[in-house]
Amino acid sequence: MSKNSTSSLSKNLLPIIKGSYRHGYPLSKVAWFKVGGPAELMFIPKDKEDLINFLKNTIINKFNLFVIGACSNLLIRDGGLDGVVIKLGKDFKSIKNKEDYIFVGAGALDIVVSKFAASRGIGGLEFLSGIPGTIGGSIFMNAGAYGKEISDILISIEAVDRSGNIHNIESKDIKFSYRSSKIKKNLILLSACLKGYKEDKLEIEKKIREIKKLRSETQPVRKKTGGSTFKNPEDSNYKAWELIELSGCRGMEKGGAKISDLHCNFLVNSGTASAFELEELGNDIKNKVLYSTGVTLDWEIERVGNVLEVSS
Protein backbone atom coordinates (compact mmCIF):
# COMPACT_ATOMS: atom_id res chain seq x y z
CA MET A 1 0.00 0.00 0.00
CA SER A 2 1.06 3.58 -0.56
CA LYS A 3 2.95 5.52 2.08
CA ASN A 4 0.63 8.38 1.21
CA SER A 5 -2.53 6.50 2.09
CA THR A 6 -4.81 8.93 3.93
CA SER A 7 -6.90 6.15 5.30
CA SER A 8 -7.26 5.04 8.88
CA LEU A 9 -9.69 2.22 8.22
CA SER A 10 -9.74 0.77 11.69
CA LYS A 11 -12.53 -1.45 12.97
CA ASN A 12 -13.92 1.22 15.29
CA LEU A 13 -14.55 3.56 12.33
CA LEU A 14 -16.44 1.02 10.26
CA PRO A 15 -20.18 0.29 10.47
CA ILE A 16 -21.47 -3.07 11.65
CA ILE A 17 -22.26 -5.18 8.60
CA LYS A 18 -23.68 -8.63 7.81
CA GLY A 19 -20.93 -9.46 5.35
CA SER A 20 -17.23 -9.42 6.14
CA TYR A 21 -14.20 -7.13 6.34
CA ARG A 22 -10.70 -8.32 5.46
CA HIS A 23 -7.82 -6.00 6.28
CA GLY A 24 -4.70 -6.31 4.13
CA TYR A 25 -6.24 -8.99 1.91
CA PRO A 26 -3.76 -10.21 -0.77
CA LEU A 27 -5.44 -9.46 -4.09
CA SER A 28 -3.15 -11.89 -5.91
CA LYS A 29 -5.46 -14.60 -4.53
CA VAL A 30 -8.38 -13.41 -6.67
CA ALA A 31 -6.61 -11.90 -9.70
CA TRP A 32 -6.37 -14.04 -12.84
CA PHE A 33 -2.76 -12.90 -13.33
CA LYS A 34 -2.03 -14.11 -9.75
CA VAL A 35 -0.13 -10.89 -9.02
CA GLY A 36 -0.94 -7.75 -7.06
CA GLY A 37 -0.45 -6.31 -3.61
CA PRO A 38 -2.96 -6.18 -0.74
CA ALA A 39 -6.24 -4.34 -0.39
CA GLU A 40 -6.09 -1.98 2.55
CA LEU A 41 -9.61 -3.15 3.33
CA MET A 42 -11.77 -5.61 1.44
CA PHE A 43 -15.51 -5.46 2.11
CA ILE A 44 -17.71 -8.34 0.98
CA PRO A 45 -21.34 -7.26 1.46
CA LYS A 46 -23.89 -9.97 2.16
CA ASP A 47 -26.61 -8.35 0.06
CA LYS A 48 -27.82 -5.06 -1.42
CA GLU A 49 -29.07 -3.73 1.91
CA ASP A 50 -25.72 -4.51 3.53
CA LEU A 51 -23.88 -2.57 0.83
CA ILE A 52 -26.24 0.40 1.12
CA ASN A 53 -25.81 0.40 4.91
CA PHE A 54 -22.02 0.49 4.50
CA LEU A 55 -22.13 3.34 1.98
CA LYS A 56 -24.55 5.41 4.05
CA ASN A 57 -22.64 4.95 7.31
CA THR A 58 -19.06 5.34 6.13
CA ILE A 59 -17.42 8.65 5.25
CA ILE A 60 -16.64 7.10 1.90
CA ASN A 61 -15.49 10.33 0.24
CA LYS A 62 -12.40 10.24 2.45
CA PHE A 63 -11.28 6.90 1.02
CA ASN A 64 -10.58 5.43 -2.37
CA LEU A 65 -13.27 2.95 -3.39
CA PHE A 66 -12.81 0.23 -5.99
CA VAL A 67 -15.15 -2.61 -6.98
CA ILE A 68 -13.74 -5.89 -8.29
CA GLY A 69 -15.50 -8.70 -10.09
CA ALA A 70 -13.72 -11.74 -11.50
CA CYS A 71 -10.47 -9.72 -11.87
CA SER A 72 -10.07 -11.29 -15.31
CA ASN A 73 -9.25 -8.14 -17.31
CA LEU A 74 -7.45 -6.38 -14.48
CA LEU A 75 -3.82 -5.86 -13.53
CA ILE A 76 -3.39 -4.95 -9.86
CA ARG A 77 -0.01 -3.36 -9.20
CA ASP A 78 2.39 -4.79 -6.63
CA GLY A 79 1.80 -2.00 -4.10
CA GLY A 80 -1.86 -2.94 -3.75
CA LEU A 81 -4.92 -0.72 -3.42
CA ASP A 82 -5.50 1.95 -0.78
CA GLY A 83 -8.95 2.45 0.70
CA VAL A 84 -11.87 0.06 0.30
CA VAL A 85 -12.08 -2.75 -2.24
CA ILE A 86 -15.62 -4.10 -2.61
CA LYS A 87 -16.18 -7.65 -3.84
CA LEU A 88 -19.82 -8.57 -4.33
CA GLY A 89 -20.92 -11.73 -2.51
CA LYS A 90 -23.30 -14.61 -3.30
CA ASP A 91 -26.50 -12.56 -3.20
CA PHE A 92 -25.25 -10.54 -6.17
CA LYS A 93 -24.98 -13.66 -8.34
CA SER A 94 -28.68 -14.48 -8.64
CA ILE A 95 -30.15 -15.25 -12.07
CA LYS A 96 -33.83 -15.59 -12.98
CA ASN A 97 -35.94 -15.07 -16.05
CA LYS A 98 -39.42 -14.05 -17.15
CA GLU A 99 -40.00 -15.27 -20.69
CA ASP A 100 -36.94 -14.11 -22.66
CA TYR A 101 -35.92 -11.41 -20.17
CA ILE A 102 -33.11 -12.36 -17.79
CA PHE A 103 -32.63 -10.59 -14.45
CA VAL A 104 -29.11 -11.07 -13.20
CA GLY A 105 -26.94 -9.88 -10.31
CA ALA A 106 -23.83 -7.89 -11.18
CA GLY A 107 -21.58 -10.51 -9.58
CA ALA A 108 -22.79 -13.39 -11.77
CA LEU A 109 -20.21 -14.82 -14.15
CA ASP A 110 -20.89 -14.24 -17.84
CA ILE A 111 -20.42 -17.91 -18.66
CA VAL A 112 -22.94 -18.93 -15.96
CA VAL A 113 -25.50 -16.49 -17.36
CA SER A 114 -24.94 -17.96 -20.82
CA LYS A 115 -25.54 -21.49 -19.53
CA PHE A 116 -28.65 -20.37 -17.63
CA ALA A 117 -30.07 -18.81 -20.79
CA ALA A 118 -29.37 -22.00 -22.73
CA SER A 119 -31.17 -24.10 -20.11
CA ARG A 120 -34.26 -21.89 -20.53
CA GLY A 121 -34.16 -21.93 -24.33
CA ILE A 122 -33.16 -18.26 -24.54
CA GLY A 123 -30.80 -17.47 -27.40
CA GLY A 124 -28.67 -14.43 -28.12
CA LEU A 125 -26.45 -14.74 -25.03
CA GLU A 126 -24.14 -17.48 -26.31
CA PHE A 127 -21.28 -15.01 -26.81
CA LEU A 128 -21.13 -14.47 -23.04
CA SER A 129 -19.62 -17.95 -22.74
CA GLY A 130 -16.49 -16.53 -24.35
CA ILE A 131 -16.08 -13.68 -21.83
CA PRO A 132 -14.26 -14.59 -18.58
CA GLY A 133 -15.78 -11.93 -16.34
CA THR A 134 -18.83 -10.84 -14.37
CA ILE A 135 -21.92 -9.12 -15.73
CA GLY A 136 -21.15 -5.93 -13.81
CA GLY A 137 -17.62 -5.63 -15.15
CA SER A 138 -18.75 -6.55 -18.64
CA ILE A 139 -21.38 -3.80 -18.66
CA PHE A 140 -18.93 -1.15 -17.43
CA MET A 141 -16.46 -1.95 -20.23
CA ASN A 142 -19.06 -3.04 -22.81
CA ALA A 143 -17.34 -6.40 -23.13
CA GLY A 144 -17.88 -8.41 -26.25
CA ALA A 145 -16.85 -11.50 -28.16
CA TYR A 146 -17.53 -13.16 -31.49
CA GLY A 147 -19.26 -10.16 -33.06
CA LYS A 148 -21.54 -9.17 -30.19
CA GLU A 149 -21.31 -6.77 -27.23
CA ILE A 150 -23.22 -6.81 -23.97
CA SER A 151 -24.84 -3.48 -24.89
CA ASP A 152 -26.63 -5.40 -27.67
CA ILE A 153 -28.66 -7.37 -25.12
CA LEU A 154 -28.84 -4.90 -22.20
CA ILE A 155 -32.24 -3.45 -21.27
CA SER A 156 -31.48 -1.69 -17.97
CA ILE A 157 -29.25 -1.59 -14.91
CA GLU A 158 -29.74 -1.01 -11.20
CA ALA A 159 -26.86 0.75 -9.45
CA VAL A 160 -26.04 2.48 -6.17
CA ASP A 161 -23.95 5.61 -5.74
CA ARG A 162 -21.40 6.25 -3.00
CA SER A 163 -24.02 7.89 -0.81
CA GLY A 164 -26.20 4.77 -0.91
CA ASN A 165 -28.81 6.09 -3.34
CA ILE A 166 -30.33 3.68 -5.88
CA HIS A 167 -30.36 4.52 -9.60
CA ASN A 168 -32.34 2.64 -12.26
CA ILE A 169 -31.01 3.43 -15.73
CA GLU A 170 -32.25 2.23 -19.11
CA SER A 171 -29.72 1.05 -21.66
CA LYS A 172 -30.81 3.73 -24.15
CA ASP A 173 -29.67 6.37 -21.65
CA ILE A 174 -26.15 4.93 -21.43
CA LYS A 175 -23.64 5.88 -24.11
CA PHE A 176 -21.75 2.75 -25.15
CA SER A 177 -18.78 2.49 -27.49
CA TYR A 178 -16.16 -0.14 -28.30
CA ARG A 179 -15.02 -1.61 -24.95
CA SER A 180 -16.32 1.41 -23.08
CA SER A 181 -19.39 2.95 -21.46
CA LYS A 182 -20.26 6.33 -19.99
CA ILE A 183 -21.64 4.85 -16.77
CA LYS A 184 -20.59 7.20 -13.99
CA LYS A 185 -17.55 6.00 -12.07
CA ASN A 186 -19.25 6.70 -8.73
CA LEU A 187 -21.86 4.01 -9.41
CA ILE A 188 -21.68 0.40 -8.25
CA LEU A 189 -23.69 -1.95 -10.43
CA LEU A 190 -26.10 -4.17 -8.51
CA SER A 191 -28.08 -5.96 -11.21
CA ALA A 192 -29.13 -5.85 -14.83
CA CYS A 193 -31.94 -6.89 -17.14
CA LEU A 194 -30.87 -8.63 -20.35
CA LYS A 195 -33.01 -9.73 -23.28
CA GLY A 196 -32.61 -12.70 -25.57
CA TYR A 197 -35.02 -14.56 -27.81
CA LYS A 198 -36.65 -17.98 -27.88
CA GLU A 199 -34.53 -20.62 -29.55
CA ASP A 200 -34.09 -24.38 -29.52
CA LYS A 201 -32.00 -25.49 -26.53
CA LEU A 202 -29.91 -27.90 -28.58
CA GLU A 203 -29.05 -25.19 -31.09
CA ILE A 204 -27.99 -22.81 -28.29
CA GLU A 205 -25.85 -25.49 -26.64
CA LYS A 206 -24.21 -26.24 -29.99
CA LYS A 207 -23.23 -22.57 -30.40
CA ILE A 208 -21.78 -22.49 -26.87
CA ARG A 209 -19.72 -25.62 -27.56
CA GLU A 210 -18.38 -24.04 -30.75
CA ILE A 211 -17.38 -20.87 -28.89
CA LYS A 212 -15.73 -22.89 -26.11
CA LYS A 213 -13.78 -24.96 -28.67
CA LEU A 214 -12.64 -21.91 -30.63
CA ARG A 215 -11.59 -20.12 -27.45
CA SER A 216 -9.57 -23.09 -26.16
CA GLU A 217 -7.83 -23.41 -29.54
CA THR A 218 -6.91 -19.74 -29.91
CA GLN A 219 -6.51 -18.32 -26.38
CA PRO A 220 -4.39 -19.31 -23.35
CA VAL A 221 -7.43 -20.20 -21.24
CA ARG A 222 -5.52 -22.33 -18.74
CA LYS A 223 -2.74 -19.81 -18.10
CA LYS A 224 -2.34 -16.94 -15.63
CA THR A 225 -3.49 -14.21 -17.98
CA GLY A 226 -5.70 -11.15 -18.08
CA GLY A 227 -7.61 -11.54 -21.32
CA SER A 228 -7.03 -9.29 -24.32
CA THR A 229 -4.24 -6.86 -23.48
CA PHE A 230 -4.96 -4.14 -26.05
CA LYS A 231 -8.10 -2.92 -27.78
CA ASN A 232 -8.37 -3.33 -31.53
CA PRO A 233 -7.48 0.14 -32.87
CA GLU A 234 -10.32 1.94 -34.64
CA ASP A 235 -7.92 3.85 -36.92
CA SER A 236 -6.30 0.75 -38.42
CA ASN A 237 -7.34 -2.06 -40.75
CA TYR A 238 -5.37 -4.45 -38.56
CA LYS A 239 -6.40 -5.99 -35.26
CA ALA A 240 -4.19 -5.53 -32.20
CA TRP A 241 -2.74 -9.04 -32.42
CA GLU A 242 -1.89 -8.53 -36.10
CA LEU A 243 -0.01 -5.30 -35.35
CA ILE A 244 1.87 -7.03 -32.53
CA GLU A 245 2.77 -9.88 -34.87
CA LEU A 246 3.81 -7.54 -37.72
CA SER A 247 6.01 -5.57 -35.32
CA GLY A 248 8.02 -8.66 -34.39
CA CYS A 249 6.88 -8.74 -30.78
CA ARG A 250 6.09 -12.46 -30.63
CA GLY A 251 8.34 -14.13 -28.07
CA MET A 252 9.04 -10.96 -26.07
CA GLU A 253 9.57 -11.48 -22.33
CA LYS A 254 10.37 -9.44 -19.23
CA GLY A 255 11.25 -11.40 -16.12
CA GLY A 256 8.42 -13.85 -15.54
CA ALA A 257 6.09 -12.02 -17.94
CA LYS A 258 5.79 -13.15 -21.54
CA ILE A 259 3.61 -12.94 -24.62
CA SER A 260 1.40 -16.00 -25.05
CA ASP A 261 2.62 -18.45 -27.68
CA LEU A 262 -1.02 -19.09 -28.61
CA HIS A 263 -2.27 -15.50 -28.99
CA CYS A 264 0.10 -12.54 -29.03
CA ASN A 265 -2.48 -10.08 -27.65
CA PHE A 266 -2.39 -12.00 -24.36
CA LEU A 267 0.20 -11.47 -21.64
CA VAL A 268 1.00 -14.46 -19.45
CA ASN A 269 2.49 -14.83 -15.99
CA SER A 270 4.82 -17.80 -16.43
CA GLY A 271 4.78 -18.30 -12.66
CA THR A 272 7.23 -15.76 -11.25
CA ALA A 273 6.11 -12.48 -12.82
CA SER A 274 5.37 -9.33 -10.88
CA ALA A 275 2.67 -6.86 -11.88
CA PHE A 276 5.48 -4.42 -12.69
CA GLU A 277 7.02 -6.86 -15.19
CA LEU A 278 3.65 -7.51 -16.85
CA GLU A 279 2.91 -3.80 -17.20
CA GLU A 280 6.42 -3.02 -18.45
CA LEU A 281 6.17 -5.78 -21.05
CA GLY A 282 2.87 -4.31 -22.22
CA ASN A 283 4.45 -0.87 -22.51
CA ASP A 284 7.39 -2.33 -24.44
CA ILE A 285 4.92 -3.89 -26.89
CA LYS A 286 3.06 -0.58 -27.26
CA ASN A 287 6.31 1.25 -28.01
CA LYS A 288 7.49 -1.33 -30.53
CA VAL A 289 4.15 -1.33 -32.37
CA LEU A 290 4.13 2.47 -32.49
CA TYR A 291 7.70 2.57 -33.83
CA SER A 292 7.04 -0.16 -36.42
CA THR A 293 3.55 0.78 -37.63
CA GLY A 294 2.74 4.27 -36.38
CA VAL A 295 -0.33 2.91 -34.57
CA THR A 296 -0.86 3.57 -30.87
CA LEU A 297 -2.37 0.62 -29.04
CA ASP A 298 -4.68 1.37 -26.10
CA TRP A 299 -4.75 -0.91 -23.08
CA GLU A 300 -7.88 -3.02 -22.72
CA ILE A 301 -6.65 -4.44 -19.41
CA GLU A 302 -7.37 -2.01 -16.59
CA ARG A 303 -4.27 -1.27 -14.50
CA VAL A 304 -4.88 -0.10 -10.95
CA GLY A 305 -3.11 0.33 -7.64
CA ASN A 306 0.25 1.51 -6.39
CA VAL A 307 3.67 0.74 -7.78
CA LEU A 308 5.59 -1.08 -5.05
CA GLU A 309 8.04 1.25 -3.35
CA VAL A 310 11.41 -0.43 -2.89
CA SER A 311 13.61 0.77 -0.05
CA SER A 312 17.10 1.81 -1.13
Task: Give the residue numbers marked as catalytic.
Answer: 179, 228, 300
Number of C-beta neighbours around residue 92 at 10 A: 26
Closest CA to 112 of 81, 142, 90: 90
Angle (nearest 5°) at CA 158 between 180 and 192: 70
- In three-state form (DSSP H/G/I as H, E/B as E, the rest C), the secondary structure along 170-220 is EHHHCCEECCEECCCCCCEEEEEEEECEECCHHHHHHHHHHHHHHHHHHCC
**Cβ contact 88:174 at 8 Å:** no
Q: Three-state SS string across 103-165, please?
A: EEECCCEHHHHHHHHHHCCEECCHHHHHCCCEHHHHHHHCCEECCEEHHHCEEEEEEECCCCC
Query: Beta strands 188-195 and 20-26: pairing type?
Result: unpaired
Q: CB of 268 within 8 A of CB of 260?
A: yes
Count CA within 13 A, CB hemisphere, residue 122.
Answer: 21
Whether residue 241 contacts residue 261, with contact meaning beta carbons closer than 8 Å, is answered with no
Element (H, E) at 102: strand 101-105
Task: Compute CA 38 distance to the chain's CA centroid, rounded to the nearest angstrom.
Answer: 18
